Structure 1
Amino acid sequence: MLHECHPDELELDSASNFSSSTVNSTSSEGSELSTGPIVIDMGTKSCRAGFSGHCSPSAEVSTLVGHCMGSEGARAGVIIGEEALLYPDTETMEVMHNGFIINWEAAENLCYYLLKHELQVNPEDHALLLTEPLFSPTSSRENMAEMAFEVLGAPCFFVSPQPVLSAYTHGKISALVLDMGHAATRVVPVLEGRSMACSSKQTDVAGRCLTWYLSTLLEDTGHMPSKGMSHMVEDIKHACCYVAEDFQNECLLPPSSHTMDISLPDGMTLTLTKERFHLKTTCNYLVSKPG
């Protein structure tokens, strides 16, 4: 059974009907998990998956797929996530670009891995809900349906715009959604369960700008991150950087108050000082600056 809708045609009762018509509710939480819908949210940098009704995803992996050169068997030669960067004989593929899937074979491998290895479920036993960004073409939804039914073997499939689901998460059918991702930042009005594409705005100032800026700051301190270290710089950004409440006062503090040493995989030690708050404070200003 195929459930398909346009981003401007999805309403709250549609999602409710999908959930109630495809899942036999039981009093046991374990039974609900064994038969409940699974949600997969694919982003440019990471892909999240979990069970419907949970407050947070059950699994999150890097949106990176690698193929071992010369390996026998397509499935056996696939490496998912940042682990693919550890093997020099592995060819990595970009699954998504600016929020849109550009390699459907890699996307199939990624979803299969999430379901079978991370969630440890049989795709044929669960309805599948996939998210899509604003301005997705019709061909993208057709490819999603083909992947859900023919590759994963899901009994039911539903696709929903990400801004609408964000509004539903907070119990709203009308909201102004600010979606800040790795490749783009979008502001989308949601009115009565419908995303208003004509009134939406988008900018390329997003998470990857922070990663690039951190790389330049590290270069200024004498560290030259290689191309293969981009994922490590991304991890440093999330784990070590912060937005200073008062930028000027933060700069006047002694370096010891914000110094942090990080051990790198090659055995060297990276020392961060003002880079920790220069990064996010500067980009926070760029995002919030009017006009």
Structure 2
Amino acid sequence: MEQPSHTITYTLEEKEYDTPYYSIRQNYPQQYQGTNIPLVIDNGSNQCRAGWANEGTPSMIFDNVVARYRDRKANVNVVTVGMDAQSDPSSRSSARSPFDGNVVCDFDRMETVLDYIFTVLGITTSTIEHPLVMTEPVCVPQYSRNLMSELLFECYNAPSVTYGIDALFSHYANGGENEDGIIVSSGHNSTHIIPTLQGKGILGKAKR
């Protein structure tokens, strides 16, 4: 039986671009090096997307899980991320998400995920020279955000980090920067209802 091709089709400027659901793409464009083009990480509890802010589609999409196990045949410790973490029974049984619900709690695994993102994008230096934009859920605990900031600044020497609620980013991207309305953000673990007034999220009235 033919295996399904896991692809997601994006439409951009009336042209179709087929992006593999999972692919190793070590692509650090030369024109981006030494610039301040932001690197965007949509850090979801189910899937993670990462890419450059000036591109219409993410460079990579993968399941946000990390597996650590010992390969007895090769007698080595193995760490896998994304679809690799679910490729065989040994890794699948140890695959864990950095999230507890929709909040990052395991920052050891989160560091592995970030290492994977930067390596696949071809950034192999110890310092990330680009500003980072990272999504987060509604009302993320300040303690969790502090640990994330500590990881990004101290481990990767990021020049700056901007956090934003994924649902509000989507609202603005779809022309809602001056609109009143209600956002229904249905995620993998929870659904958030966020009212907006002139494009600004009224988080005090948000519901989970």
Calculate the TM-score normalised by the size of structure 2. 0.71
Matching residue's letter, 1:178: V
Q: Which residue of 2 is the match for residue 52 of structure 1? A: 53
Deviations 1:161-185 (A, max 9, x none): 2222112212332453221221122
- The offset of 1:87, in angstroms, is 3.9
CA contact (8 A) 1:163 1:195 kept: no
Aligned equivalents of 1:155 and 1:113: distance in 2? 19
Judging by fraction of residues, say which structure has more strand: 2
CA contact (8 A) 1:188 1:195 kept: yes
Taking the aligned partners of 1:140 and 1:193, their CA distance within structure 2 comes to 27
4+ residue runs of structure 1 moved beyond 4 angstroms?
A: none
Amino acid across the alignment from 2:190: A
Match for 1:157: what amino acid? V
- Structure 1 equivalent of residue 64 of structure 2: 63
Equivalent residue for 1:129, pick from 133, 145, 155: 133
What residue number does 1:101 align with? Answer: 104
Could you say which residue in structure 2 is the equivalent of 1:214?
none
**Corresponding residue of 1:13:** none
Equivalent residue letter for 1:127: P
Deviation per residue, 1:99-124 (Å, 9 max, x gap) = 2112111111111101211x222552
> Which residue is equivalent to 1:273?
none
Distance 1:149 1:77 in 2: 27
Secondary structure of the 1:40 match is strand
**Could you tell me how far apart the structure 2 residues matched to 1:31 and 1:193 are?**
34
Map 1:90-239 to 2 at 5 A: 90=91, 91-117=94-120, 119-121=121-123, 122=125, 124-173=128-177, 174=179, 175-192=181-198, 194-202=200-208
Q: Hey, what's the Cα distance between the residues in 2 that align with 1:33 and 1:193? A: 34
Distance 2:80 2:56 in 1: 28
Judge conservation of contact 2:105–2:144 (CA < 8 Å) in 1. Answer: no
Measured after TM superposition, the shift of residue 150 of structure 1 is: 1.4
Deviation at 1:196, TM superposition (A): 1.6
Paired residue secondary structure (1:160): strand
Q: Give 5+ residue unaligned stretches, structure 2.
A: 1-28
**Cα distance in structure 2, aligned partners of 1:172 and 1:81:** 32
1:39 maps to what in 2?
Answer: 40
Percentage of identical aligned residues? 26
Give the unaligned 5+ runs of structure 1: 1-28, 203-291
SS in 1 for 2:128: helix
For residues 48 and 126 of structure 1, the distance between their equivalents in structure 2, rounded to whole angstroms, comes to 17
Deviations 1:123-166 (A, max 9, x none): 52211111111021111211111111112221211111222211
Moved more, 152-161 or 141-150: 152-161
- Equivalent-residue separation in structure 1 for 2:64 and 2:193 (angstroms): 23
On the 8 A contact 2:65/2:95 being kept in 1, the answer is yes
CA distance change for structure 1 residues 136 and 34 in 2, over 3 Å: closer, same or farther?
Answer: same
Aligned residue-pair number: 169
Q: Which residue type is aligned with residue 172 of structure 1?
A: G
C-alpha deviation, 1:200, in angstroms: 1.9
Measured at CA, do residues 134 and 67 of structure 1 come closer, stay the same or move farther in structure 2, by a change above 3 Å? same
Structure-to-structure mapping, 1:4-15, within 5 angstroms: none
Structure-1-length-normalised TM-score: 0.52
Larger radius of gyration: 1
Q: RMSD value over aligned CA atoms?
A: 2.4
User: Does the CA contact (< 8 Å) of 1:164 and 1:190 recur in 2?
Assistant: no
